[in-house]
Structure 1
Amino acid sequence: MDGDYVIGGVFSIHNYMHTVKHNFTTMPKPLKCTGSIDSRELRFSRAMVFAIEEINNSTELLPGIKLGYQIHDSCASVPVAVHVAFQLSNGLVPVFYTGDNCSQFGMVMAVVAESGSTPSISMSRVIGPFNIPQVSHFATCACLSDKRQYPSFFRTIPSDQFQAEALAKLVKHFGWTWIGAVRSDSDYGNNGMASFLHAAQKEGICVEYSESFYRTHPRSRIQRVADVIRRSTAMVVVAFVASGDMRILLEELSREPSPPRQWIGSESWVTDSDMLRFSFCAGAIGFGIEKSVIPGLRDFLLDLSPTKVAASPVLTEFWEDAFNCMLEKSTAIEKRVCDGTEDIQMLQSQYTDTSQLRITNMVYKAVYAIAHAIHNAVCQDTNSTTLCDKFTSIESKQVLTQLKKVNFSQNGYDVSFDANGDPVARYELVNWQKSESGRIELVTVGHYDASLPVGQEFRINRNLNWVEGRTQVPVSVCTDSCPPGTRKVLQKGKPVCCYDCIPCPEGEISNATDSPDCFSCSKDFWPNAERDTCLSKPVEFLSFDEVLGMILAAFSVGGACLAIVTAAVFFRHRTSPIVRANNSELSFLLLFSLTLCFLCSLTFIGAPSEWSCILRHTAFGITFVLCISCVLAKTIVVLMAFKATLPGSSIMKWFGPLQQRMTVVSFTFIQVLICTIWLVVSPPFPMKNLTLYKERIILECALGSAVGFCAVLGYIGLLAVLCFVLAVLARKLPDNFNEAKLITFSMLIFCAVWITFIPAYVSSPGKFTVAVEIFAILASSFGLILCIFAPKCFIILFQPEKNTKKHLMNKNKS
Structure 2
Amino acid sequence: MSLGFHIYDSYYDARMTYRTTLDLLFKLWKFIPNYKCDTRKNLIAIIGGLGSDTSFHMADTLGLFKIPQLSYGSFPPEESDTTQSPSFYRMVPNEAHQYIGIISLLKHFGWTWVGLFAPNDYSGENFIKNLEPLLSENGICSAFTQRIPQQIRLDHLDEMCDVAINMNVPFTEKEVTTFIVYGDPLTIIVLRGIIFLRDPSNRENTGFKKLWIFTAQTDFILTELCRFLDFQLFQGAISFTIHSQNLLVFKEFLQSINPSWTQRGFFKVFWEQAFGCIFPNASAPMDTNEVCTGKESLDSLPRSLFEMELAGHSYSIYNAVYVVAHVLNAIYLSRSKQRPMKSSGRLKLQNIRAWQLHHFLPAISFNNSAGERVSFTNKREMGGKFDITNMLTFPNKSFLRVKVGWVDPFAPDRKEFTIHEDMIMWNNDFNQVVPISVCNDHCRPGYRKKRKEGKKFCCYDCTLCPEGKISEKNDMDDCVRCPADQYPNKNKNGCIPKRISFLSYDESFGIGLSSLALSFSLLTTLVIGTFIKYKDTPIVKANNRDLTYALLIALLLCFLSSFLFIGHPGKVTCLLRQPMFGIVFSLAVSCVLAKTVTVVVAFMATKPGSSMRKWVGKNLSNSVVLSCSLVQAIICTGWLMTSPPFPDQDMFSVMEETIVQCNEGSVTMFYCVLGYMGLLAIASFIVAFAARKLPDSFNEAKFITFSMLLFCSVWLSFVPTYLSTKGKFMVAVEIFSILSSSAGLLGCIFAPKCYIIVLRPELNNREQLIRRKM
Which TM class, normalised by the smaller chain length? 0.7 to 0.9
Give the structure 2 partner of residue 231 of structure 1.
172
Q: 2:675 aligns with which of 703, 713, 716?
A: 713
1:764–1:311 distance in 2 versus 1, CA, 3 Å: closer
Q: Establish whether residue 596 from structure 1 lines up as the match of residue 557 from structure 2.
A: yes
1:260–1:330 distance in 2 versus 1, CA, 3 Å: farther
Other structure's SS at 1:267 match: coil
Other structure's SS at 2:360 match: helix
Give the structure 1 partner of residue 210 of structure 2.
261
Instruction: Within 5 Å, give how 1:137-216 maps onto structure 2.
Output: 137-138=72-73, 145-186=80-121, 189-216=124-151
Any conservation in 2 of the 1:91–1:107 contact (CA below 8 Å)? no
1:440–1:74 distance in 2 versus 1, CA, 3 Å: closer
Residue 373 of structure 1 deviates from its aligned partner by 1.9
In the aligned structure 2, how far is the partner of 1:527 from the partner of 1:98? 80
In the aligned structure 2, how far is the partner of 1:91 from the partner of 1:438? 40
Per-residue deviation, residues 706-745 of structure 1 (Å, max 9, x unmatched): 367436633553365346534642435254x443433333
Give the structure 2 partner of residue 249 of structure 1.
191
> Partner letter of residue 587 of structure 1?
T
Q: 1:704 aligns with which of 649, 652, 666?
A: 666
> Partner letter of residue 588 of structure 1?
Y
1:505–1:330 distance in 2 versus 1, CA, 3 Å: farther
Residue 495 of structure 1 deviates from its aligned partner by 2.0
Any conservation in 1 of the 2:68–2:89 contact (CA below 8 Å)? yes
Any conservation in 1 of the 2:235–2:391 contact (CA below 8 Å)? yes
> Partner letter of residue 505 of structure 1?
P
Q: Establish whether residue 796 from structure 1 lines up as the match of residue 757 from structure 2.
A: yes
Stretch deviating more after TM superposition (423-432 or 269-278): 269-278
Residue 768 of structure 1 deviates from its aligned partner by 4.1
Per-residue deviation, residues 112-161 of structure 1 (Å, max 9, x unmatched): 33344433322221222111122234465656633244322224344544
Give the structure 2 partner of residue 14 of structure 1.
none
Other structure's SS at 1:71 match: coil
Any conservation in 2 of the 1:91–1:104 contact (CA below 8 Å)? no
Unaligned runs of 5+ in 1: 1-64
In the aligned structure 2, how far is the partner of 1:726 from the partner of 1:327? 139
Give the structure 2 partner of residue 28 of structure 1.
none
Give the structure 2 partner of residue 57 of structure 1.
none
Any conservation in 2 of the 1:590–1:631 contact (CA below 8 Å)? yes
Residue 422 of structure 1 deviates from its aligned partner by 1.8
Q: Establish whether residue 625 from structure 1 lines up as the match of residue 586 from structure 2.
A: yes
> Partner letter of residue 271 of structure 2?
F
Q: Establish whether residue 420 from structure 1 lines up as the match of residue 379 from structure 2.
A: yes
Any conservation in 2 of the 1:156–1:415 contact (CA below 8 Å)? no
Residue 284 of structure 1 deviates from its aligned partner by 0.9
Q: How many residues align?
A: 744
Per-residue deviation, residues 231-266 of structure 1 (Å, max 9, x unmatched): 223101111132233123224424341431111112
Any conservation in 2 of the 1:140–1:158 contact (CA below 8 Å)? no
Instruction: Within 5 Å, give how 1:755-770 maps onto structure 2.
Output: 755-770=716-731
Q: Establish whether residue 348 from structure 1 lines up as the match of residue 300 from structure 2.
A: yes
Other structure's SS at 2:423 match: coil
> Partner letter of residue 693 of structure 2?
R
Give the structure 2 partner of residue 288 of structure 1.
241
Stretch deviating more after TM superposition (258-267 or 545-554): 545-554
Any conservation in 1 of the 2:231–2:393 contact (CA below 8 Å)? no
Give the structure 2 partner of residue 515 of structure 1.
476
Q: 2:20 aligns with which of 59, 84, 100?
A: 84
Give the structure 1 partner of residue 353 of structure 2.
395
> Partner letter of residue 492 of structure 1?
E
1:334–1:321 distance in 2 versus 1, CA, 3 Å: farther
Q: Establish whether residue 500 from structure 1 lines up as the match of residue 453 from structure 2.
A: no
Give the structure 2 partner of residue 132 of structure 1.
67
In the aligned structure 1, how far is the partner of 2:579 from the partner of 2:73? 92
Per-residue deviation, residues 456-478 of structure 1 (Å, max 9, x unmatched): 12223452111126322101011
In the aligned structure 2, how far is the partner of 1:96 from the partner of 1:742? 133
Any conservation in 1 of the 2:517–2:563 contact (CA below 8 Å)? yes
> Partner letter of residue 390 of structure 2?
N
Other structure's SS at 1:354 match: coil
Other structure's SS at 2:705 match: helix
Q: Establish whether residue 279 from structure 1 lines up as the match of residue 232 from structure 2.
A: yes
1:173–1:271 distance in 2 versus 1, CA, 3 Å: farther
In the aligned structure 2, how far is the partner of 1:726 from the partner of 1:201? 82
Other structure's SS at 2:103 match: helix
Stretch deviating more after TM superposition (638-647 or 467-476): 638-647
In the aligned structure 1, how far is the partner of 2:665 from the partner of 2:366? 86
Residue 512 of structure 1 deviates from its aligned partner by 4.8
Give the structure 1 partner of residue 156 of structure 2.
none
1:113–1:439 distance in 2 versus 1, CA, 3 Å: closer
Any conservation in 1 of the 2:592–2:684 contact (CA below 8 Å)? no
In the aligned structure 2, how far is the partner of 1:338 from the partner of 1:483? 64
Other structure's SS at 1:209 match: strand
Any conservation in 2 of the 1:487–1:517 contact (CA below 8 Å)? yes
Any conservation in 2 of the 1:222–1:249 contact (CA below 8 Å)? no
Other structure's SS at 2:363 match: coil
Any conservation in 2 of the 1:292–1:358 contact (CA below 8 Å)? no
Per-residue deviation, residues 476-495 of structure 1 (Å, max 9, x unmatched): 01133334444433322222
Other structure's SS at 2:4 match: strand
Give the structure 2 partner of residue 466 of structure 1.
426
Residue 501 of structure 1 deviates from its aligned partner by 2.9
Instruction: Within 5 Å, give how 1:670-749 maps onto structure 2.
Output: 670-680=631-641, 683-685=644-646, 699-702=661-664, 704=666, 706=668, 709-710=671-672, 713-714=675-676, 717-718=679-680, 721-722=683-684, 724-726=686-688, 728-733=690-695, 735=697, 737-749=698-710
Q: 1:364 aligns with which of 307, 318, 330?
A: 318
Q: Establish whether residue 441 from structure 1 lines up as the match of residue 376 from structure 2.
A: no
Other structure's SS at 1:295 match: helix
Unaligned runs of 5+ in 2: 153-158
Q: 2:744 aligns with which of 771, 783, 786?
A: 783
> Partner letter of residue 409 of structure 1?
N
Residue 369 of structure 1 deviates from its aligned partner by 1.5
Give the structure 2 partner of residue 220 of structure 1.
161
In the aligned structure 1, how far is the partner of 2:770 from the partner of 2:34? 161
Other structure's SS at 1:315 match: helix
Other structure's SS at 1:280 match: helix
Residue 682 of structure 1 deviates from its aligned partner by 5.0
| TM-score normalised per structure 1 | 0.80
> Partner letter of residue 465 of structure 1?
M
Q: Establish whether residue 554 from structure 1 lines up as the match of residue 515 from structure 2.
A: yes
> Partner letter of residue 741 of structure 2?
S
Per-residue deviation, residues 766-789 of structure 1 (Å, max 9, x unmatched): 544443433333222222222222
In the aligned structure 2, how far is the partner of 1:659 from the partner of 1:601? 31
1:285–1:225 distance in 2 versus 1, CA, 3 Å: farther
In the aligned structure 2, how far is the partner of 1:365 from the partner of 1:634? 114
Any conservation in 2 of the 1:424–1:451 contact (CA below 8 Å)? no
In the aligned structure 2, how far is the partner of 1:119 from the partner of 1:633? 112
CA RMSD of aligned residues (A): 4.0
